[in-house]
Amino acid sequence: MNPDYETLLISEPVPHVTVVTMNRLQSLNAMNTQMMADLRDCFASFYVDQGATRCLVLTGAGEKAFCAGADLKERNGMTEEAWRRQHAIIEQAIRAIMDCPVPVIAAVNGAAYAGGCELALACDFIYAAAHARFAQTEVALGIMPGAMGTQNLPRAIGVRRAKEVVLTAAPFSAEDGVAWGLINRIAAAGKLMDEVLATAARIAANAPVAVRQAKRAMDKSQDLDRANGYSFEIEAYNRTVGTEDRIEGIRAFNEKRKPDFKGR
């Protein structure tokens, strides 16, 4: 993967964990065309080749915002044709995050509004700083969520609550997000990345093929009935049986030691 993105910082603070930081601090990490193209290309690269990465973290630069949504300064005066072309890139970026075979944790370090909230929702789960706030503000601007918000938000918090959030465009707190099932954990002040990286490292310590297959099966649980979902689960399960990691995991358990998984 090429780490040289104009609007992203790529780092590996612990082994096998890659942190992708949206780095438009002066704009509260708002989604301009370049950043969405960078996110698309970054996450699509992991679809092709995971390399040594076993878990990803998506976060924003600074402490004020994860992502404030679309860059409305860039969009001011944008023609309808240009708007549609830009949004096509956003659609590709969201799909690339959701299709990424590697688990993705959103570390929401501040405001996650509109498209920023949708970026967090596209990740596998969310940890948030105590001061983080969320909102789907699109209808107050004459549009509606267009980055899977009307699909991912109801799946996370239920359709009735999602309708309230989207149709009022009102912000809500991290505490609300936990109570509604949107957020997995609120981190204490200054501890967000410590907690996220601890969880990411725990995921990365598990068998990579098994983790990827389990993620795929759980994603399918949202689209298939239970019987067909179980059929998919068994297909995913069977792909782990022939791996070296399966042999190593059982051997390590019996030898009372930590397994050394190779991802094959």
Nearest of 132, 83, 136 to residue 108 by alpha carbon: 132
Sheet containing 172-173, strands listed edge to edge, beginning at the edge strand earlier in sequence: 65-67, 111-113, 133-135, 172-173
Asked if 195 is an active-site residue, the reply is no
Distance of alpha carbon 111 from alpha carbon 174, whole angstroms: 10
**Catalytic hit among 81, 138, 195, 233:** 138
Within 8 A by CB and 6+ apart from 53, the residues are: 12, 16, 17, 18, 46, 102
**Catalytic hit among 63, 74, 91, 118:** 118
Distance of alpha carbon 248 from alpha carbon 253, whole angstroms: 8
Between vectors from CA 203 to CA 224 and to CA 232, what angle results, nearest 5°?
20
Asked if 248 is an active-site residue, the reply is no
Catalogue the active-site residues. 118, 138
